[in-house]
Structure 1
Protein backbone atom coordinates (compact mmCIF):
# COMPACT_ATOMS: atom_id res chain seq x y z
CA UNK A 1 0.00 0.00 0.00
CA UNK A 2 1.39 3.39 -0.97
CA UNK A 3 1.48 6.39 1.34
CA UNK A 4 -1.35 7.93 -0.71
CA UNK A 5 -3.48 4.78 -0.35
CA UNK A 6 -2.91 4.77 3.42
CA UNK A 7 -3.79 8.46 3.68
CA UNK A 8 -7.00 7.92 1.67
CA UNK A 9 -8.07 4.96 3.83
CA UNK A 10 -7.52 7.03 6.97
CA UNK A 11 -9.19 10.14 5.52
CA UNK A 12 -12.22 8.18 4.33
CA UNK A 13 -12.61 6.57 7.75
CA UNK A 14 -12.50 10.00 9.42
CA UNK A 15 -14.95 11.48 6.88
CA UNK A 16 -17.42 8.65 7.56
CA UNK A 17 -17.13 9.22 11.31
CA UNK A 18 -18.67 12.68 10.72
CA UNK A 19 -21.65 11.23 8.82
CA UNK A 20 -24.34 11.38 11.51
CA UNK A 21 -27.31 12.28 9.29
CA UNK A 22 -29.37 9.90 7.13
CA UNK A 23 -30.43 10.83 3.61
CA UNK A 24 -32.05 9.49 0.47
CA UNK A 25 -30.68 10.76 -2.85
CA UNK A 26 -33.00 10.14 -5.80
CA UNK A 27 -34.36 11.36 -9.14
CA UNK A 28 -38.00 12.33 -8.69
CA UNK A 29 -40.65 11.03 -11.05
CA UNK A 30 -43.23 13.21 -12.75
CA UNK A 31 -45.72 14.92 -10.45
CA UNK A 32 -49.19 13.41 -10.22
CA UNK A 33 -52.40 15.45 -10.07
CA UNK A 34 -54.84 14.15 -7.45
CA UNK A 35 -58.33 14.96 -8.77
CA UNK A 36 -59.96 14.29 -5.40
CA UNK A 37 -57.90 16.90 -3.51
CA UNK A 38 -56.99 19.18 -6.41
CA UNK A 39 -53.35 18.95 -5.30
CA UNK A 40 -50.27 17.96 -7.22
CA UNK A 41 -48.23 15.35 -5.41
CA UNK A 42 -44.70 14.15 -6.16
CA UNK A 43 -44.48 11.00 -8.23
CA UNK A 44 -42.45 8.02 -7.06
CA UNK A 45 -38.66 8.16 -7.54
CA UNK A 46 -37.39 7.07 -10.96
CA UNK A 47 -33.92 6.20 -9.63
CA UNK A 48 -32.71 5.95 -6.03
CA UNK A 49 -28.98 6.59 -5.97
CA UNK A 50 -28.29 6.25 -2.26
CA UNK A 51 -29.97 5.77 1.09
CA UNK A 52 -27.83 5.84 4.21
CA UNK A 53 -25.46 7.85 6.35
CA UNK A 54 -24.29 11.26 5.27
CA UNK A 55 -22.99 14.56 6.54
CA UNK A 56 -25.21 17.52 5.72
CA UNK A 57 -23.85 20.96 6.54
CA UNK A 58 -24.34 24.51 5.32
CA UNK A 59 -21.82 25.46 2.66
CA UNK A 60 -22.04 29.17 3.40
CA UNK A 61 -23.61 31.61 5.81
CA UNK A 62 -25.03 33.90 3.13
CA UNK A 63 -28.54 33.30 1.83
CA UNK A 64 -29.61 34.23 -1.70
CA UNK A 65 -33.08 35.68 -2.11
CA UNK A 66 -34.78 35.23 -5.49
CA UNK A 67 -38.22 35.82 -6.95
CA UNK A 68 -39.99 32.74 -8.35
CA UNK A 69 -43.31 33.73 -9.83
CA UNK A 70 -44.98 35.81 -7.16
CA UNK A 71 -43.12 34.17 -4.31
CA UNK A 72 -39.83 35.14 -2.72
CA UNK A 73 -37.52 32.19 -2.08
CA UNK A 74 -34.42 31.97 0.06
CA UNK A 75 -31.74 29.71 -1.32
CA UNK A 76 -29.32 28.14 1.14
CA UNK A 77 -26.48 26.04 -0.13
CA UNK A 78 -25.49 22.78 1.58
CA UNK A 79 -22.57 20.42 1.17
CA UNK A 80 -23.54 16.77 1.47
CA UNK A 81 -20.92 14.06 1.86
CA UNK A 82 -21.60 10.36 1.48
CA UNK A 83 -19.16 7.45 1.62
CA UNK A 84 -16.66 7.44 -1.25
CA UNK A 85 -17.35 3.72 -1.67
CA UNK A 86 -21.01 4.33 -2.63
CA UNK A 87 -21.66 2.48 -5.91
CA UNK A 88 -23.74 3.81 -8.78
CA UNK A 89 -27.05 2.08 -9.47
CA UNK A 90 -26.88 -0.91 -11.82
CA UNK A 91 -28.31 1.30 -14.57
CA UNK A 92 -25.08 3.34 -14.42
CA UNK A 93 -26.99 6.61 -14.08
CA UNK A 94 -25.30 9.36 -12.12
CA UNK A 95 -26.91 12.04 -9.96
CA UNK A 96 -27.35 15.37 -11.74
CA UNK A 97 -28.73 18.84 -11.05
CA UNK A 98 -32.42 18.68 -10.23
CA UNK A 99 -32.19 15.40 -8.33
CA UNK A 100 -33.39 15.47 -4.72
CA UNK A 101 -31.84 14.81 -1.31
CA UNK A 102 -34.27 14.18 1.54
CA UNK A 103 -32.74 14.35 5.02
CA UNK A 104 -34.63 11.53 6.72
CA UNK A 105 -32.91 11.65 10.13
CA UNK A 106 -30.45 13.86 11.96
CA UNK A 107 -29.29 14.51 15.52
CA UNK A 108 -30.31 18.12 14.71
CA UNK A 109 -34.12 17.98 14.73
CA UNK A 110 -34.23 21.16 12.61
CA UNK A 111 -32.48 19.35 9.76
CA UNK A 112 -34.62 16.20 9.73
CA UNK A 113 -37.27 16.42 7.02
CA UNK A 114 -35.44 19.03 4.94
CA UNK A 115 -35.60 18.58 1.17
CA UNK A 116 -32.62 19.76 -0.89
CA UNK A 117 -32.11 19.99 -4.67
CA UNK A 118 -28.83 18.88 -6.21
CA UNK A 119 -26.84 21.65 -7.90
CA UNK A 120 -23.65 19.73 -8.67
CA UNK A 121 -21.90 16.46 -7.94
CA UNK A 122 -18.15 16.37 -7.36
CA UNK A 123 -16.12 13.27 -8.19
CA UNK A 124 -12.46 12.54 -7.55
CA UNK A 125 -10.40 9.38 -7.16
CA UNK A 126 -8.47 10.99 -4.32
CA UNK A 127 -11.44 12.40 -2.39
CA UNK A 128 -12.21 11.24 1.13
CA UNK A 129 -15.97 11.33 0.43
CA UNK A 130 -18.40 11.81 -2.44
CA UNK A 131 -19.51 15.45 -2.28
CA UNK A 132 -22.76 16.90 -3.51
CA UNK A 133 -23.70 20.57 -3.52
CA UNK A 134 -27.43 21.10 -3.00
CA UNK A 135 -29.76 23.95 -2.11
CA UNK A 136 -32.71 24.45 0.17
CA UNK A 137 -35.34 26.42 -1.73
CA UNK A 138 -37.56 27.44 1.15
Structure 2
Protein backbone atom coordinates (compact mmCIF):
# COMPACT_ATOMS: atom_id res chain seq x y z
CA UNK A 1 0.00 0.00 0.00
CA UNK A 2 1.35 3.45 -0.88
CA UNK A 3 0.94 6.19 1.70
CA UNK A 4 2.33 9.64 0.97
CA UNK A 5 4.84 8.27 -1.52
CA UNK A 6 6.20 5.68 0.93
CA UNK A 7 5.36 2.02 0.92
CA UNK A 8 3.48 1.03 4.08
CA UNK A 9 4.20 -2.44 5.36
CA UNK A 10 0.88 -4.31 5.73
CA UNK A 11 2.41 -6.27 8.62
CA UNK A 12 3.08 -3.07 10.56
CA UNK A 13 -0.49 -1.94 9.99
CA UNK A 14 -1.86 -5.33 11.10
CA UNK A 15 0.23 -5.20 14.29
CA UNK A 16 -0.99 -1.66 14.97
CA UNK A 17 -4.61 -2.76 14.57
CA UNK A 18 -4.07 -5.73 16.89
CA UNK A 19 -2.48 -3.44 19.50
CA UNK A 20 -5.39 -0.99 19.20
CA UNK A 21 -7.91 -3.81 19.74
CA UNK A 22 -6.09 -4.96 22.88
CA UNK A 23 -6.71 -1.50 24.33
CA UNK A 24 -10.48 -1.72 23.67
CA UNK A 25 -11.61 -2.70 27.16
CA UNK A 26 -14.94 -0.88 27.17
CA UNK A 27 -18.16 -2.10 25.58
CA UNK A 28 -20.61 0.17 23.76
CA UNK A 29 -23.86 0.04 21.84
CA UNK A 30 -24.38 2.57 19.04
CA UNK A 31 -28.02 3.22 18.12
CA UNK A 32 -30.37 5.65 16.44
CA UNK A 33 -33.91 6.07 17.72
CA UNK A 34 -36.64 4.71 15.48
CA UNK A 35 -39.55 6.72 14.14
CA UNK A 36 -42.33 7.20 16.70
CA UNK A 37 -45.88 6.38 15.67
CA UNK A 38 -48.95 8.24 16.89
CA UNK A 39 -52.13 6.37 17.80
CA UNK A 40 -55.04 8.70 17.02
CA UNK A 41 -57.52 6.62 19.03
CA UNK A 42 -55.55 6.70 22.29
CA UNK A 43 -53.66 9.94 21.68
CA UNK A 44 -50.32 8.38 22.58
CA UNK A 45 -46.96 8.10 20.91
CA UNK A 46 -45.32 4.71 20.60
CA UNK A 47 -41.53 4.81 20.36
CA UNK A 48 -40.16 3.19 17.23
CA UNK A 49 -37.72 0.31 17.22
CA UNK A 50 -34.15 1.61 17.65
CA UNK A 51 -31.67 0.78 14.91
CA UNK A 52 -28.57 -0.85 16.42
CA UNK A 53 -25.45 -0.01 14.41
CA UNK A 54 -22.90 -1.69 16.67
CA UNK A 55 -22.63 -3.61 19.93
CA UNK A 56 -19.16 -4.64 21.00
CA UNK A 57 -15.73 -3.67 22.28
CA UNK A 58 -14.49 -0.10 22.13
CA UNK A 59 -12.03 2.31 23.65
CA UNK A 60 -13.37 5.59 25.02
CA UNK A 61 -10.93 8.44 25.44
CA UNK A 62 -11.51 12.06 26.40
CA UNK A 63 -10.54 14.32 23.51
CA UNK A 64 -10.62 17.54 25.54
CA UNK A 65 -9.61 18.25 29.11
CA UNK A 66 -12.34 20.80 29.70
CA UNK A 67 -15.79 20.99 28.24
CA UNK A 68 -17.45 23.87 26.47
CA UNK A 69 -20.25 25.48 28.47
CA UNK A 70 -23.37 26.18 26.42
CA UNK A 71 -26.94 27.17 27.13
CA UNK A 72 -29.67 24.94 25.73
CA UNK A 73 -33.13 26.29 26.39
CA UNK A 74 -32.87 27.53 29.94
CA UNK A 75 -30.38 24.89 31.03
CA UNK A 76 -26.60 25.24 31.15
CA UNK A 77 -24.71 22.27 29.70
CA UNK A 78 -21.05 21.36 29.52
CA UNK A 79 -20.08 19.64 26.28
CA UNK A 80 -17.13 17.28 26.68
CA UNK A 81 -15.68 15.63 23.58
CA UNK A 82 -14.66 11.97 23.40
CA UNK A 83 -13.17 9.66 20.80
CA UNK A 84 -14.77 6.22 20.60
CA UNK A 85 -12.51 3.71 18.84
CA UNK A 86 -13.98 0.52 17.37
CA UNK A 87 -12.08 -2.42 15.86
CA UNK A 88 -10.96 -1.50 12.34
CA UNK A 89 -12.37 -4.77 10.97
CA UNK A 90 -15.90 -3.99 12.24
CA UNK A 91 -18.31 -4.83 9.39
CA UNK A 92 -20.07 -1.77 7.97
CA UNK A 93 -23.56 -1.35 9.45
CA UNK A 94 -26.61 -1.50 7.18
CA UNK A 95 -26.81 2.31 7.37
CA UNK A 96 -24.05 4.83 7.95
CA UNK A 97 -23.52 6.09 11.48
CA UNK A 98 -24.19 9.82 11.30
CA UNK A 99 -24.19 12.71 13.77
CA UNK A 100 -27.05 12.34 16.21
CA UNK A 101 -26.63 8.61 16.78
CA UNK A 102 -26.15 7.60 20.42
CA UNK A 103 -23.21 5.75 21.96
CA UNK A 104 -24.14 4.06 25.25
CA UNK A 105 -21.35 2.66 27.40
CA UNK A 106 -22.53 -0.74 28.65
CA UNK A 107 -19.32 -1.96 30.33
CA UNK A 108 -16.03 -0.37 31.34
CA UNK A 109 -13.14 -0.89 33.71
CA UNK A 110 -13.89 2.71 34.78
CA UNK A 111 -17.29 2.34 36.48
CA UNK A 112 -17.98 6.07 35.97
CA UNK A 113 -18.37 5.43 32.22
CA UNK A 114 -21.05 2.73 32.56
CA UNK A 115 -24.43 4.12 31.55
CA UNK A 116 -22.91 7.23 29.95
CA UNK A 117 -24.65 8.32 26.74
CA UNK A 118 -22.64 10.19 24.13
CA UNK A 119 -23.98 11.92 21.00
CA UNK A 120 -22.08 11.18 17.78
CA UNK A 121 -20.68 14.34 16.20
CA UNK A 122 -18.49 12.80 13.49
CA UNK A 123 -17.20 9.56 11.97
CA UNK A 124 -13.73 9.05 10.49
CA UNK A 125 -12.95 6.65 7.66
CA UNK A 126 -9.60 5.49 6.30
CA UNK A 127 -7.82 2.38 5.11
CA UNK A 128 -4.48 3.13 6.81
CA UNK A 129 -5.78 3.56 10.35
CA UNK A 130 -5.55 1.25 13.34
CA UNK A 131 -9.17 1.74 14.48
CA UNK A 132 -12.50 3.13 13.33
CA UNK A 133 -12.81 6.40 15.25
CA UNK A 134 -16.04 8.17 16.08
CA UNK A 135 -16.15 11.57 17.76
CA UNK A 136 -18.91 12.08 20.28
CA UNK A 137 -19.84 14.46 23.05
CA UNK A 138 -21.27 14.19 26.54
CA UNK A 139 -24.06 16.74 26.83
CA UNK A 140 -24.49 16.64 30.61
Same fold (TM over 0.5): yes
In the alignment, what sits opposite 1:66?
Answer: 70
Deviations 1:60-95 (A, max 9, x none): 102101000000011000000000000113x3x110
In the alignment, what sits opposite 1:107?
Answer: 109
| Paired positions, count | 129
Q: CA deviation at 1:27?
A: 1.4
Segments of 5+ residues of structure 2 without an aligned counterpart are 2-6, 39-44
The TM-score normalised by the length of structure 2 is 0.84
The TM-score normalised by the length of structure 1 is 0.86
Q: CA deviation at 1:43?
A: 4.4
In the alignment, what sits opposite 1:49?
Answer: 53
**1:14 to 2:16 alignment:** no
Q: CA deviation at 1:135?
A: 0.2
Does the C-alpha gap of structure 1 residues 137 and 41 become closer, same or farther in structure 2, counting only changes over 3 Å? farther
Runs of 4+ in 1 over 3 A off after TM superposition: 30-33, 40-44
Alignment of 1:15-30 (within 5 A): 15-30=20-35
Larger Rg: 2
Deviations 1:15-34 (A, max 9, x none): 0010000000111224679x
Secondary structure, counterpart of 1:127 in structure 2: coil
